């Protein structure tokens, strides 16, 4: 049995606050009062305070004069910036990864696609399967730094995805995009996989921009 990894109180605080922001439980513009957060999450002030610079570096909160830490706003400009950066780094990771994919990787990706086809556990669970599918692919690129950057961008994108009203149409489109990307990976066609990935991101961006027009 694999024992759970030890987490410091700061890491616990980061995880709790990050999840609350991404899910919209701490809404954009909310002022983060340390004492209130300490009581809410049953943590001392120190780990809450230490979590704020991490969340600021991830773009989830901002420090404002005379107000302190505030949950970052959400807007069309950020969507376009996020997807421009994601397109660049995820396309690069895909091109590097495809030749390195093992049969085990492809089998895991296929299993995740199948889970996405039958997922009935809600939008958040569906997006988690989406993330796991892409992580299998990007890990094959062999760069830990790329993965860290991609995951930071995903967190900011997921705020928009969870707040989106276009869920019903998005699910079928995402399933189709993943089937196409998986097939390109099976054929070891890096050009086609990269094009499929960029089309997939483009579809997501357009859905989100429609919500924030």
Write out pLDDT tens, residues 142-169: 999 999 999 999 999 999 999 887 776 7
On the question of pLDDT at 2 being above 50, the answer is no
On the question of pLDDT at 111 being above 70, the answer is yes
Could you tell me which residues are beta bridge partners of residue 71? Answer: 61
On the question of pLDDT at 78 being above 50, the answer is yes
Residue 125 burial (CB count, 10 A): 13
Residue 14 has phi, psi (to 5 degrees) of: -60, -45
Could you tell me which residues are beta bridge partners of residue 139? Answer: none
Give the integer Cα–Cα distance in Å for 97 and 188: 10
| Per-residue model confidence (pLDDT) at position 17 | 96
Q: What is the DSSP letter of 65?
A: T
Structural domains in the chain, sorted by start:
9-71 (1.10.10.10), 76-211 (1.20.120.530)
* Distance set, CA 182 to CA 27, 96, 101, 113, 201 (Å): 36, 15, 11, 8, 15
Give the integer Cα–Cα distance in Å for 123 and 77: 24
Higher pLDDT, 98 or 210: 98
On the question of pLDDT at 104 being above 60, the answer is yes
Q: What is the DSSP letter of 165?
A: S
What percent of the chain has pLDDT above 90? 87
pTM of the full structure: 0.88
For 22-46, b where at least 16 C-beta lie within 10 A, e where not — what string?
A: beeebeeeeebebeebbeebebeee
Write out pLDDT tens, residues 114-126: 999 999 888 999 9
Residue 64 has phi, psi (to 5 degrees) of: -110, 140
Write out pLDDT tens, residues 13-70: 999 999 999 999 999 999 999 999 999 999 999 999 999 999 999 999 999 988 899 9
The whole-angstrom distance between residue 191's C-alpha and the CA centroid of its chain comes to 24
Average pLDDT, the chain: 93
On the question of pLDDT at 211 being above 90, the answer is no
């Amino acid at each position: 049995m694999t024992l759970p990894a030890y987490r410091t109180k700061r890491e616990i605080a980061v995880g709790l606050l990050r999840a609350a922001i991404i899910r919209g439980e701490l809404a954009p513009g909310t002022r983060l009062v340390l004492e209130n957060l300490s009581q809410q999450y049953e943590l001392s002030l120190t780990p809450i305070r230490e979590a704020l610079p991490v969340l600021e570096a991830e773009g989830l909160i901002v420090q404002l004069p005379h107000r302190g830490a505030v949950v970052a706003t959400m807007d069309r400009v950020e969507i376009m910036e996020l997807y421009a950066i994601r397109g660049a780094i995820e396309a690069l990771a895909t091109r590097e990864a495809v030749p390195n994919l093992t049969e085990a990787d492809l089998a895991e990706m296929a299993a995740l696609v199948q889970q996405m086809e039958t997922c009935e556990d809600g939008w958040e669970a569906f997006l988690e399967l989406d993330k796991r599918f892409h992580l299998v692919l990007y890990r094959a690129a062999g760069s830990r730094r790329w993965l860290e950057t991609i995951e930071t961008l995903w967190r900011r994108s997921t705020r928009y995805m969870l707040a989106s009203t276009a869920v019903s149409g998005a699910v079928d489109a995402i399933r189709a995009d993943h089937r196409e990307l998986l097939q390109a990976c099976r054929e070891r066609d890096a050009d086609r996989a990269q094009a499929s990935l960029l089309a997939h991101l483009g579809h997501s961006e357009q859905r989100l921009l429609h919500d924030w027009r």
